Structure 1
Amino acid sequence: MKRIRQISALCLLIMLAVACSTTKHLPEGEQLYIGMGKTQINQLDKSHAGQQALSEVEATLKVVPNGAIFGSTSASLPKVPFGMWIYNSFVGDSSVISKWIFDKFAAKPVFISHVKANNRSKVATNILREHGYFNAGVESLITTLPKDSLKAKVTYTIDMGAPYRYDSIIPLPVTTFPDSILARRASPSLIRKGDQFSLARLQEERQTISSMLRDNGYYFFRSQDIIYEADTLLVPGAVTLRTKLSPETSPQALHPWRIGKRTTVLLGQNAEPPTDSLVVGDMQIFYHHKMPVRPNVLAERFRFFSGNLYRQTDEDVTRKSLARLGAFSVIDLNFSRRDSLSDTLDVRLLTTLDKPWDASLEALFKTKSNDFIGPGLNFTLARRNVFGGGENLSWNIGGSYEWETTSRPEGSSNSFIDINSYSLSTGLNLSFPSIVFPGLLDRYYYYPTTTTFQVSASALNRAHYFSMYSFGFSANYEFQPSKEHRHNIIPLKFSYNMLGNQSEAFQTITADNPPLLLSLQSQFVPQMGYTYTFNRSTSAKSPHQLWMQFGLYEAGNLLNLVYLAAGKKYNETKNFIGVPFSQFIKATGEVRYTYIIDRNQSLATRVGSGIIYSYGNMKVAPYNEQFYVGGANSIRAFTVRSIGPGRFVPNADNLYSYLDQVGEFKLEANVEYRGKLFGDLHGAVFLDAGNIWLLSEDQTRPGGSLAEVGSIGNFLNSIALGTGVGVRYDLTFLVVRFDVGFGLHMPYNTGRKGYYNIPRFKDAIGYHFAVGYPF
């Protein structure tokens, strides 16, 4: 053992000795780039437009040095980056092992010449001018380290200056086009007098005009046919703008065109040529071997019709709706002028058939917060365009095995790895890219529309305790009438849970924990539901982002009416397929608002609530339909199901007390300040508050109901409060998050006086590692 430690220490010293020379293989005349100095910004514009401009400038100037931490341009690993050490140690070594190590782990040095600071400064200056900062300038300075002449960093100075605004705007004359389309423009212009100059807005404006003209038959008109003349000398500090047609605009772009002959060519999977044809209306379809989609589906999504004016919207919808079928790997629309004397465009659709089958195998190993670990395996097989209408049929089967790594409850015959379980599940999903309803099945929709039917089954066996079998079915309609509004309708969803074998140990536990028995008892839950979502959080033009979602669900009411019509009493517990069925109504709502302070800071807030009321056939809602708080996306100072209901005090000596901490009414609010630390690493400071309550008193959970609140002061005291800090690493495609929450107030009497009633600081600290933002 001593010799192993000596060898390890020697290897470490050798590595450090070699690594100390990060400039060992520098080419002659080169310097190693070690990052950016602090950027100096003069005449900073704190407006939202100014912050957007600076964000683009900083992205242009950013060059990450070797060994950077979290993508930072200034923070790097101490002394020696590992990748640089590999590079210096193995560059030029032709042995097999050395070459493999070099290819896998070496990081090529970033030289000052690679940064091209002067070019970046020029590009950054142009970006500022494109945002209206015509007097802006960006300069770079290369600074050599005093202690090492082979290393240098780059520092930038940004002078923004005052932005130029429009003094006057002269649009295209409405007489430019014979039918005066410009005079009939419905939406207002994107550029107005007094607005800050923005090249992006000008490009968007001329794209809007081009799209409007192309939607009225002007197929050959392009956005580049519109040019702008900007005069900054007529009015000091302002822009006089004139809109004109480009002198290179072709004559054929100045009159509308109509659709002539329609042709569709459907190539095979390997681009095999057509072997047969058919005619649908006035459209001729050529296909290979057999039609891949139903003819009426293809005709409905081909939005061009002979004799109609060409419309760009029809072209966009045709491409999108055909792509959503999932049947084609290539979709191409070609328009050709019929002859030099007519204003007719013949249109041809050319597609290549995609592979019909997809298969995936996923192996995983889970580690849960309840100390259970174990492997799992999932297999999925999917068939695209199964019925010729873009339908997707998928089947999945999976299983997992878990065991507990900590000691069992007192009285266990074995202290470790005695609680274990295995689960098996399978499901069959059928989704349609349309509304499955008479008369609507083959229609096209501008925004994504999906109808999904799902059948599922699962089996869970918890060794020494119980077994559970579940079966379910659901139908789901999801559609968007516009970009910001989305609807989700669940006309039918039911689940059937059957509790199997029960051991004596399990019966003893459930006798002392009625909620646990309630959550696992055999029952039938027939549901209907509706969810509305409003999303205005994707636009970068506004610092205000808003997201809202509201849901309304019910269970068992229609089934109960059937039993009442059959002569059953209202309060009599009625069974369906041998088990009682649930009857409740549930409503949820959540609002999220985020204010973008500047390019590096934002303030995010959330308010959410929910209520579930059970009546008729069952007085208690199913356990998995009730609410709880705590955890990584809730009140982060407390773990999941560790707070509530109300001022109920959980039994600390009971291992299963958390099962009681669910409720029928939920209220929660969060506020979080988010700021950039360095590179792609961001920090957060948050404040979370909320709780759950019962709608009626429960003797086993005293203080847990709204009826026991009594006053506004008691209600406020029953709100759990926590604060905390966190870090987020933005990988662009996902965000990895770590939060530490600190409790400030528990909703029940802890024995400590005052609002801050945490008995011991360490008892109210929550650690949460998660993916994605909490809201």
Structure 2
Amino acid sequence: MAGSVFYKRYICRCVLPLLLAALLAACSSTKHLEKDQYLLWKNKIVLKNETPMPNKGELKENLDNLVVQQPNSNFMGITVVKIPKKLWAYNRRYKRLHTRPDSLLPKSVQRPVIFDSLTMPQSEQNMKNYLFNQGFFYARVHDTVVFRKKKAYTTYTVETGPNYKIDRINYNIDDSAIAAVVRGASDATRLKKGTIFTYSLLEEERSRITTAVNNNGYRRFNLENITFKIDTIDRSIFKIGASPFENAVNYISRTAKRKGTLDIDIIIRKADDSLSYNKYTISKITVYPDYGGAEDRNDTNMITRNIKGVEFKYHSEYVLPRVLYRHMFLAPGNTYSKADEERTISRMGGLGIFHYIRVQFRENRVTRDSLDCSIYLNRAQKYDFSTNFEVSNGTTYDLGNSLSLNFRNKNFLRGANLLTISASGGIELYYDENLADDLYKRFQLLTQYYGINASLDFPKFVAPVASSIFSNSNLPHTVISVGENVIHRINYFQLLNTSATFSYNWRESETKTWTLTPAFINKIRLPEKELTDSFQKVLSSNEYLSNSYKQTFIEGENISFRFDNSARRKGRSYSYLRVAFEEAGGVLKGARKLGYALNQLYTLQDTNFAQYTKYDLDARHYFAIRKSVMALRFNGGVGIPYGPPWTLPYIKQYFAGGPYSLRGWRIRSLGPGSYRKSLTEKVNQIDLTGDIKLEANAEYRFPVMPLFAGAVKMNGALFADAGNIWLANPDTAYAGGELAMDKLGQDIAMDLGIGSRFEIASFLTVRVDMAIPVKKPYVHTNSGWVFKDIAPFDNGWRAENVVFSFSIGYPF
């Protein structure tokens, strides 16, 4: 009965207003049309194909985008219910706006899209061209239109017909040296027997072959040297640049039509450029590290230094020449390679010490087989200083602010080493209306935190072995960092964390990155004079907390792998994966067993050292849907203590809730498991943490509207989060906090929410999210689902359940 009442309330309060808005928008959308005009209300694509098609949805969406006339845009991209918000806004101000030219209309309005039947043939042609490029050579498109109540509804029925598979690939090359290069690089081709043919594959193959030939010294070889012939038609040769219908369907032989397969000839000719088959060698390289202008080329007063045939000319030693030499892939005597040229530019740019980088080649006009190379580098500002101020709120506090000061030297010791020093501090306040009548006195200091951190990033591997065993193409870096940070929880404790790390990171490929930390150190200290009696009492009654907050020495190592193909698949669906492993205590445990002096030192100091292993996984996939994105993430981690104190250190524990986790709970307020703080416990007393974390998130992101003449883009989001944290071992202080498979379903928390993202000038994203919990692990009725309790007009319910979060950047 209660559920029935809830759904009636939901329909009355949420669904009916939406339907009413849609009805009002629909009724008013045509009121300014003339007698013979119709508003284009909907385009429909009906796709008919002879065989199963795995990418049917994507194909249908692409065809829809090719329709010349598109209906007025919908509110927040909603397609189930038609609400043309911009058209409605235009009609409201019709008298003022209808005489204005389109260029002067506000971006928040849109004129009615008047149906034009003359655009339909062009839409058909666009679809046929696209389908032809996708290998559907005999596609047919039929259009119909229905007029109803001053609205036009168009339907495009698309019969794709069969598409073809590649049978044989033949090479027809008029030069044996070029032929050897092409065949040597053929393993990377996507033109393979059995692959479904599309013209985009030919474009990709032409670029791939051109790149392979360029990388083997043939600098002037280009796309125009390559053409294709489909099947065995001799009368003309297909060229990529031409329109598909200029090449005609007759290119596909009748035999091919019966078989459903194609033969492709790849034809390479010298073409119009007589030098396109000349192979070039680099004869001379000159580098200008502080290039000031054309006069530097002939300035005899510049300092000159030669490293293995590379000449460096500069006014002052802004950066050590050997550093630049180490980041070069071009060398005298080497065969020219386009890839080496691009990698040199990329590596020089990655140093961060130059405004611009330009590589220029000059051919020897006599021999026509050698190149002089000049690399021009314009120095950037060496130092920069920045500040950052933030205001925030969280579970343990009601109002917080922080200030950080950051100094960077981008060319430390003239080695393109990046030195960063940052100092930060902040406070957290909690609000209690019972403290005083004065509003300002109701805020009490809860936490103070401050620290200083420094890091030094070397653009190379710093290792006790020869650097020649590492490849510069992997963009190697060595990072050393140290820091001292203090958290002072007023009336409870003071925690000091001294840290140091030594790490390597490098790229395996364009999409794969590794980070290896052979050693990291954290020393956690809680001065006894800062521990209050009340906090000591809490620790004495809670073994898990007592172990978490012990003075601890952490020494360990970790490694992580990251895959990210977003740059390669820009504008399309892409994936992200991060896998990490961390271990601590193994070295110290071995030292203790061997009786080293190190063991005696820590025994005398009565300092514990942490012993654990951690495994982390962050997997994401982003589905591109027109102008929208569906983002999915699974995030999990397991920490396993394998020695005393049998608990992860506080700084290594997992937590749930907050703007980057389950947004229906404030940060560190959920879990572990089905545990819930009693009403007598202070919310701001102790953070809730655990040894295991499982979390899944789904977020649909869509554009809403531009603001301030397009300087700010407002985007919307609908999201759902699920997950929790757990303890690795049962603890009486946290009833239900351990992970057990028979109650995993009960322990999973879930929330739903809506949010806005404001992209400011394409470099900063401010995010506002509102979420409510819909499944609470600590509610033991109805498996934790609390839909029936939702009461958005009840002040008490909103205060307890509606969570707003303000943050920078996307949650994932």
Q: TM-score, normalised by structure 2?
A: 0.73
Shift of 1:604: 4.7
SS at match of 1:361: strand
Tell me if the contact between 1:515 and 1:623 (Cα under 8 Å) persists in the aligned partners.
no
SS at match of 2:316: coil
Question: For residues 604 and 80 of structure 1, do their structure 2 counterparts lie closer, same or farther at Cα, with a shift above 3 Å needed?
Answer: closer
1:404 maps to 430
2:288 maps to 265
The equivalences for 1:41-120 within 5 A come to 41-43=46-48, 47-58=53-64, 69-70=75-76, 75-77=83-85, 80-81=88-89, 85=93, 88=96
Shift of 1:112: 5.3
1:611-665: CA deviations, max 9, x gaps? Answer: 321525x44431222334556666677665556556666544322598485444x
Tell me if the contact between 1:419 and 1:463 (Cα under 8 Å) persists in the aligned partners.
yes
**Does 2:522 correspond to 1:492?**
no
The equivalences for 1:378-393 within 5 A come to 378-393=404-419
Q: 1:251 aligns with which of 265, 270, 274?
A: 274
The equivalences for 1:172-571 within 5 A come to 172-173=171-172, 176-178=175-177, 180-185=180-185, 187-230=187-230, 231-234=251-254, 235-236=256-257, 239-245=262-268, 248-268=271-291, 273=296, 275-281=301-307, 283-406=309-432, 416-438=442-464, 439-440=466-467, 445-499=472-526, 501-503=530-532, 506-507=535-536, 510=539, 519-520=548-549, 522-534=551-563, 547-555=577-585, 557-558=587-588, 561=591, 565-566=595-596
**Does 2:763 correspond to 1:743?**
no
Question: For residues 360 and 163 of structure 1, do their structure 2 counterparts lie closer, same or farther at Cα, with a shift above 3 Å needed?
Answer: farther
Q: 2:639 aligns with which of 598, 604, 611?
A: 611
Work out the CA distance in 1 between the residues paired with 2:162 and 2:420.
55
Tell me if the contact between 2:664 and 2:771 (Cα under 8 Å) persists in the aligned partners.
no
**Does 2:160 correspond to 1:161?**
yes
Tell me if the contact between 2:654 and 2:693 (Cα under 8 Å) persists in the aligned partners.
no
1:193-225: CA deviations, max 9, x gaps? Answer: 443332322111111111221222211111332
Question: For residues 626 and 607 of structure 1, do their structure 2 counterparts lie closer, same or farther at Cα, with a shift above 3 Å needed?
Answer: closer
Shift of 1:399: 2.9
Tell me if the contact between 2:424 and 2:450 (Cα under 8 Å) persists in the aligned partners.
yes
Shift of 1:588: 0.7
Shift of 1:610: 0.8
Shift of 1:549: 0.8
2:18 maps to none
1:574 maps to 603
Work out the CA distance in 2 between the residues paired with 1:131 and 1:649.
57
Match of 1:435, as an amino acid? F
Work out the CA distance in 2 between the residues paired with 1:154 and 1:727.
32
Give structure 1 stretches of 5+ with no counterpart. 1-19, 93-101
Tell me if the contact between 1:225 and 1:245 (Cα under 8 Å) persists in the aligned partners.
yes
Shift of 1:756: 5.8
Shift of 1:451: 1.9
Shift of 1:554: 0.9
**Does 2:612 correspond to 1:585?**
yes
Work out the CA distance in 1 between the residues paired with 2:725 and 2:140.
54
SS at match of 1:394: strand
1:262-281: CA deviations, max 9, x gaps? Answer: 22233446887365142424
SS at match of 1:297: helix
Tell me if the contact between 1:83 and 1:106 (Cα under 8 Å) persists in the aligned partners.
no
Question: For residues 260 and 374 of structure 1, do their structure 2 counterparts lie closer, same or farther at Cα, with a shift above 3 Å needed?
Answer: same
Work out the CA distance in 2 between the residues paired with 1:221 and 1:286.
30
Match of 1:221, as an amino acid? F
SS at match of 1:280: strand
1:407-426: CA deviations, max 9, x gaps? Answer: 5899xxx9931244443333
Q: 2:654 aligns with which of 624, 627, 645?
A: 627
SS at match of 1:81: helix
Question: For residues 162 and 614 of structure 1, do their structure 2 counterparts lie closer, same or farther at Cα, with a shift above 3 Å needed?
Answer: same
RMSD: 5.2
Work out the CA distance in 2 between the residues paired with 1:90 and 1:543.
40
2:236 maps to none
Question: For residues 64 and 604 of structure 1, do their structure 2 counterparts lie closer, same or farther at Cα, with a shift above 3 Å needed?
Answer: same
Match of 2:135, as an amino acid? G
Tell me if the contact between 1:456 and 1:471 (Cα under 8 Å) persists in the aligned partners.
yes
Q: 1:694 aligns with which of 704, 723, 728?
A: 728
Shift of 1:356: 1.9
1:581-626: CA deviations, max 9, x gaps? Answer: 422121214263759698789795737341321525x444312223
Shift of 1:450: 2.5
Question: For residues 114 and 476 of structure 1, do their structure 2 counterparts lie closer, same or farther at Cα, with a shift above 3 Å needed?
Answer: farther
Work out the CA distance in 2 between the residues paired with 1:449 and 1:424.
32
Question: For residues 394 and 693 of structure 1, do their structure 2 counterparts lie closer, same or farther at Cα, with a shift above 3 Å needed?
Answer: closer
Match of 1:300, as an amino acid? R
Shift of 1:405: 2.5
Question: Number of aligned pairs?
Answer: 723
Q: Which one has the bigger helix percentage? A: 2
Shift of 1:41: 3.4
Match of 1:693, as an amino acid? L
Work out the CA distance in 2 between the residues paired with 1:90 and 1:156.
30
Tell me if the contact between 1:328 and 1:353 (Cα under 8 Å) persists in the aligned partners.
yes
1:15 maps to none
1:496-555: CA deviations, max 9, x gaps? Answer: 344453555555555555655655554433332222345578776998957351312214
Tell me if the contact between 1:297 and 1:443 (Cα under 8 Å) persists in the aligned partners.
no
Tell me if the contact between 2:289 and 2:377 (Cα under 8 Å) persists in the aligned partners.
yes
SS at match of 1:574: helix
Match of 2:335, as an amino acid? L
Shift of 1:338: 0.6
1:54-73: CA deviations, max 9, x gaps? Answer: 45455565999888633679
Work out the CA distance in 2 between the residues paired with 1:730 and 1:233.
54
SS at match of 1:305: coil
**Overall identity of the aligned pairs, in %:** 17
Tell me if the contact between 1:165 and 1:194 (Cα under 8 Å) persists in the aligned partners.
no
Tell me if the contact between 1:138 and 1:156 (Cα under 8 Å) persists in the aligned partners.
no
Worse-superposed segment, 415-424 or 226-235: 415-424
Question: For residues 492 and 170 of structure 1, do their structure 2 counterparts lie closer, same or farther at Cα, with a shift above 3 Å needed?
Answer: closer
SS at match of 2:220: coil
Work out the CA distance in 1 between the residues paired with 2:353 and 2:497.
34
